Chains A and B, each alone.
Chain A
């Protein structure tokens, strides 16, 4: 296939895609899609992806949810996991990889068992987000924890904040990073008093109401 499908028709210097010049759709070879028996997909992953596909009018819509399922199963979107999902969904692995690589929360490289995303966007930056990220990086050094700065997580009311294993916590002092990491590694509940879901509305906070 030419680097650009059919480009040679208009530009004699580029090779012509035979399929295009003959008026056929360019080859999207079926054999690129792995067969189920080739990929050793765990039955529960297969069932889950099939259930996801059934929720949508078009099975392609289940791409992102299926990749979430792969990531949950393996910790990240492993090449094998992507092949398994591709076999179940009847897409090429390359297609699912192209989707996975677009989104910040889907990891196509290995990451730690635990994930900490520290917001460093405008409101958190004003309130010490950078220092919080530094504190988390120092506290988590050498541990099996993936720590990263992140764009706005949508919790500017609890700035500076972090998402720890997909749960929001804030406002955090830099010193609390150490505590959070220790609790995380010990399998304890992380900073229970700082969990977003337990926080009242702003007007209900001390000094907030009328």
Chain B
């Protein structure tokens, strides 16, 4: 049973393990009816128009209009490709895992219809290497779909071909960046490419390529089935539709919940996820994965939508909320966050490679009590020098939350520096004012 605050479209019937099979997908939710209808009776432009009119925004993080992205692909006889980005690696995000694990055929049908919109003959699901169980589930589902004639040559007798390959990565967050994903899929080290040219013009193997997130593509069959107006009936004007939100950290019921976008954050965190553990309060939360600037409890009454999160100086990102309760030390959380990006930086661009490295070193000094409050200003200026200066936004993804934490919780950073410095000052026989000075 869904929670009363949930609106289940993508996760409909998801509690039934039979949904994983082709038979169950057809029986429980009328699966593959829409692919059949689209392949038999719809033109490429009709599908594109429906997707564009729906206002569906990418669910991977950037929030760009999916229909518009698909319409950027040039027309012509050249080989075109579709890539499903299933390299979900952002700390806090685990919705794609749930969607693939519980309803793999919904994704396959979405890919088949999106391939019609993009006129792609080859599609790939790039799944992160750690998701071995989900890759097995997808492999089995793809095999079933081939067997039943929904993939392969001359699909449903409609003279259209589509090959779908499940490509398992091998552990690198950077491969979630679309151009790094293309390099990894081409069998190289996953380094991002310079944009432009954008993948829609020159992507995989140099051909026009449409890249979409798992959740975005899973929405496609529903939009084509029910129409753009139905889809716009959920969510807000600028953020239509439902969204699977991953809530984790200091809450009583962490997990994935599907909501109509625009629900107040308080309802999401308290109503669905149960709020913080008894006796504790929320101190801060990331509204859209670890790369989003943290928000404070004062912002709990904002609606959860792309536009409201942007206005609050943060972002909805992949829709992953990590709650920090009053037991969490913000400087330590900043260090954890920075360490992740330092580890995952591919090293291609100097601002990111060096910036993440020095940010970690400086934050380590902070928590060891070897820093001075002036170091906090240096940390902030390093973040400013990373943002916008690299081929991709991995560096920015560290710079944004770390800056926000230093700005919003500066008192706590200063207190941590002071407290951690005290014992060292005593041991070294230094003047007692050392920790508090400057």
Contacts and interface: CB of A to CB of B under 8 A. Distances in A.
Partners in one complex: yes
A64 to B, nearest CB: 5
Nearest to B286: A122
Contacts of B273: 202
B305 to A, nearest CB: 21
Contacts of B337: 122
Contacts, number: 177
B290 A203 contact: no
B257 A156 contact: no
B165 A55 contact: yes
Contact of B171 (A103, A156, A159): A103
A61 B248 contact: no
Interface stretch (A9-17, A21-29, A132-140, A162-170): A162-170
A157 interface: yes
A62 B167 CA distance: 9
Interface size grouping (class) on chain A: 35 or more
Given A57-B205, A163-B130, A202-B254, A105 B171 contact: yes
Contact of A104 (B2, B171, B205): B171
B253 A156 contact: no
Contacts of A48: none
Interface string B288-309: 0010000000000000000000
B418 interface: no
B130 A122 contact: no
Interface in A127-175: 127, 151-159, 163, 166-168
Nearest to A101: B189
A168 B286 CA distance: 24
A122 B91 contact: yes
Nearest to A59: B187
A157 B255 contact: yes
Contacts of B344: 151
Given A65-B167, A163-B130, A200-B15, A156 B336 contact: no
B27 interface: no
Interface residues of B, number: 71
Contacts of B173: 151-152
Contacts of A84: none
Interface in B182-200: 184-190
Contact of A63 (B94, B171, B188, B274): B188
A1 interface: no
A3 interface: no
Contacts of B168: 64-65, 68
B170 A68 contact: yes
Interface in B299-331: 320, 322, 324-325, 328
A121 interface: yes
Interface in B153-175: 165, 167-173
Interface of A: 55-65, 67-68, 98-99, 102-106, 117, 121-123, 125-127, 151-159, 163, 166-168, 196-197, 200-205, 207-210
7 contacts: A61-B167, A103-B169, A122-B286, A157-B255, A159-B248, A163-B130, A167-B132
Closest 7 CB pairs of A and B: A202-B255, A156-B248, A63-B187, A104-B171, A103-B170, A105-B171, A210-B4
